[in-house]
Each structure stands twice: as structure tokens, then as C-alpha cells.
Amino acid sequence: ALRSGILAALDSLRGDAGVRAIVLAGTARAFSGGADITEFGRPAQDPNLRHVISAVEDMPVPVIAAMQGVALGGGLELALGCHARVAWPAAKMGLPEVKLGLLPGAGGTQRLPRVAGVEKALSMIVTGTPIGAADAQAAGVVDLVTDGPYPAAAVAYARTVTDRRRVRDREDKLEPARTDAGLIDRVAAPLLKASGAQAPRACVESVRAAVQMPFDDGAA
């Protein structure tokens, strides 16, 4: 229902000349806690999250995520599909799928390295441990941390955003791993040392795909 609702809202705003920016906001408890695990093991229902994120990215005006509370898993992947991100001091964000024996499935392994760099992305994705707002801002995951009114402070920020560049098109933070072929393995080694599970290793290979492949191929 949430995925369909977001798409319907975007469709209603697309082409409206009076719309200069869009803010996606949640509640004090959560921007989004991610996938509904009751859907796991059932036939997939459209629209899937990848479709929703693509629609966000392709909006003709900037879309800004306003994150108060938690933004986890698919919730953070949705925020990474936005053109900018605003967080409140108590916000927590992460990709905890590895703790369920999974890996982020809606582009998080490809987009997070593009905003946070490969080292930070590996740490977050392979351990599944969330980070706070200040850490996220320092890493480049969020553009602004504010303690202003929610979500009005994000709306005020949205009025200043002019860059509609998609996260998927950013390449500069991938360059250190492209010029240093051993970087990923060096960073991953201590993260993998404590676990013999498959999921953490699959997460490393997914981040490696972000570095070595075009976005769509890495996401696949």
C-alpha cells in the first residue's frame, strides 16, 4: 500500500507547473522501517521498491527525503533514490538486511557507495549496523542535519535545492576503489573475519559490482 501510495502521489505531481520540489516525510518514529517481512516468501506485488525508486529519481523536480526516527533497509534505499536527504539529530539509518541472511535488494549496495564512499558503505552493509545523523552527514549520506520543525525544515531546505543529479549517476566516490584494486579486500577482511556466513560475503561482492560495473549491471 505504501509503495502504491508513493507512486500515486508522484503521478499526481508530475507535470504540475506549480511544484518546485517534493519532500518525502515519515513520522517521529520512522521515515520507513523498510520491507514488510510478512511479504517474504509470497508472490511479489507490484509496484516493487525498485520501480518506486526509479520513479523518484526521474521526477522533473528535486525530491528530498526528510528522515526523523529510523530509515532502515528499503527505507534508506528509498531515501538514497531521492535527490537530497535531510535528517534530524535522533535519526538512525542503515541497511540491516545482512542480519537476516540477505543483502539490500533495491539498489542500496550500488547507491550507498556513491554517496558515502566504498569504505563506509562496506562497513554499513556488511555489518548491518545503523549510523546516526551526525555520522551520516560526515559520510555524505545526508546533506543536512537540522533540529528545526518536522518536516517544515526539510521543506525550507527543499526550496534551495537545484541539483537534480541522481545518486546512481555519481561516480567520484567510487574512484578510490577503482584506482586501488586491493582497497575493497583490505576493508572487507576484518569485517568478514567474525562470520563464516554467506550474506556478508555476498554484500562485499555487491559493493564490488558498484565499483566495477555500470549501475544497472551492478544492481542486477
**Catalytic residue positions?**
77, 97
End-to-end Cα, the chain, rounded Å: 25
Place of cell 557507495: 113
Exposure on the CB side of residue 178, measured as CA atoms within 13 A = 14
Residue type, 47: P
Q: What is the dihedral of CA 174, 180, 182, 183, to 10 degrees?
A: -50
Cis before residue 130, ω within 30 degrees of 0?
Answer: no
